[in-house]
């Protein structure tokens, strides 16, 4: 199943290896691989696609799912088992397996589903900009029985950063990005840090560090990936916990990268919390609904930053 990359430049279309780390999500993984197989079947004139799946379950329960797609991709489907419950180790294993196969690595997560033009859009933006990394929008798909207030209070819309197509960005995202294999080969010592593989923030550390080493990261507005959020993860309690972790990871990674002092990180978190607390008051003064749940979720992220600045790390993975 393994192919070696053609380094002579004789192939006419770029080679892309989609990298997926999975952990006990066989149904979403099957849905994702089905979508990628459909893309591979209609893209032969534009790119050759392969897939690397790294299973972080020591029992290897995803292997049977992966083997169903052995004939679906021009560059093959490649299964690796990590089993460390450390996402950084899994991502590094995926990069190691994918880099010899391809010109570019397309990364996404096992609970995500890219739109059909995903890779086309990533490659188009890369060709237009010469970027080493291209990231696109990550949109949330809510279950049909999700709480109504999520939409009413624009909980996820407020979190979506918006950039112009081709704009240079200060980060990348492992759930939706194209990464140059040439850049990875030129920087063999720059990989995901296992220290952050359990607490989270490994993607922020990776991309921030890569940008410091010269990686050009840009945005592709048409390269859309959608994340399916199960009902249990969109309750108020679950969202408060996850946003607290977001803030904590942001603080820890900023300190790790020496982007700011502890005081400055704590100050940012305090300001974010204060803005969230004051938001319902401002809305009430304008005779609008206070949106207390959205404010609570936003405040949790600020509190997580403050706690991270004080040195407390919250385990997520």
- Considering 199, 216, 233, which residue would you say is the last residue of a domain? 233
Q: Are 60 and 81 in contact (CB under 8 A)?
A: yes
Residue 117 and residue 205 in one domain: yes
For residues 166 and 302, state if they share a domain: no
pTM, to two decimals: 0.86
pLDDT tens digit sequence for 141-185: 888 889 999 989 988 876 667 889 999 998 888 999 999 999 999
How many domains are there within the chain?
Answer: 2
Tally of CA atoms within 13 A in the half-sphere of 166 that contains its CB: 6
Please report, rounded to a whole number, the percentage of residues in the chain having pLDDT higher than 70. 95
Query: Residue 95: enclosing H or E segment and its boundaries?
Result: helix 87-98
Last residue in a domain, options 233, 252, 274: 233
Same domain? 174 vs 246 = no
DSSP bridge partners of 179? 105, 133
- Residue 317 lies inside a defined structural domain of this protein: no
Supply the range of the domain harboring residue 224: 15-233
Closest CA to 98 of 217, 205, 1, 204: 1
Q: In three state form, how does the secondary structure of 203-259 look?
A: HHHHHHHHHHCCCCEEECCCCCEEEECCHHHCCHHHHHHHHHHHHHHHHHHHHHCCC
Same domain, 135 and 240: no
Is 35 a residue whose pLDDT tops 50? yes
How far, in Å, CA of 94 to CA of 244, rounded? 29
Q: Judge contact between 239 and 190, C-beta under 8 A.
A: no
pLDDT digit string (tens) for 193-240? Answer: 998 887 778 898 899 999 999 999 999 999 999 998 889 899 999 999
pLDDT at 211: 94
Give the CATH number of the domain where residue 52 resides. Answer: 3.90.550.10
């Amino acid at each position: 199943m393994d192919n070696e990359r053609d380094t002579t430049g004789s192939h006419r279309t770029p080679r892309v290896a989609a990298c997926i780390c999975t952990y006990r999500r066989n149904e979403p993984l099957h849905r994702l691989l089905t979508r990628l197989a459909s893309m591979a079947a209609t893209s032969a004139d534009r790119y050759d696609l392969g897939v690397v799946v790294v299973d972080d379950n020591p029992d290897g329960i995803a292997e049977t799912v992966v083997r169903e797609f052995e004939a679906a991709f021009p560059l093959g489907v490649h299964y690796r088992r990590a089993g460390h419950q450390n996402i950084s180790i899994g991502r590094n294993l995926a990069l190691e397996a994918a880099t010899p196969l391809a010109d570019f690595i397309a990364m996404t997560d096992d609970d995500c589903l890219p739109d059909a033009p995903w890779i086309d859009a990533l490659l188009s933006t890369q060709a237009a900009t010469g970027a080493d990394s291209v990231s696109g929008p990550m949109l949330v798909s809510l279950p049909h029985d999700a709480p109504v207030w999520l939409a009413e209070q624009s909980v996820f819309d407020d979190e979506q950063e918006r950039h112009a197509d081709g704009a240079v960005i200060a980060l990348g995202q492992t759930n939706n990005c194209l990464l140059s294999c040439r850049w990875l080969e030129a920087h063999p010592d720059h990989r995901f840090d296992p220290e952050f593989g359990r607490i989270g923030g490994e993607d922020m550390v990776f991309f921030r560090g890569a940008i410091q080493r010269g990686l050009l990261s840009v945005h592709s507005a048409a390269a859309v990936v959608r994340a399916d959020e199960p009902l249990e993860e969109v309750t108020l309690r679950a969202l408060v916990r996850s946003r607290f972790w977001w803030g904590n990871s942001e603080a820890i990674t900023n300190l790790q990268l020496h982007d700011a002092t502890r005081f400055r990180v704590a100050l940012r978190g305090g300001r974010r919390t204060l803005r969230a607390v004051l938001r319902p008051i401002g809305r009430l003064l304008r005779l609008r609904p206070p949106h207390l749940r959205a404010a609570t979720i936003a405040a949790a992220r600020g509190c997580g930053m403050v706690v991270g600045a004080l040195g407390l790390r919250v385990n997520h993975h």
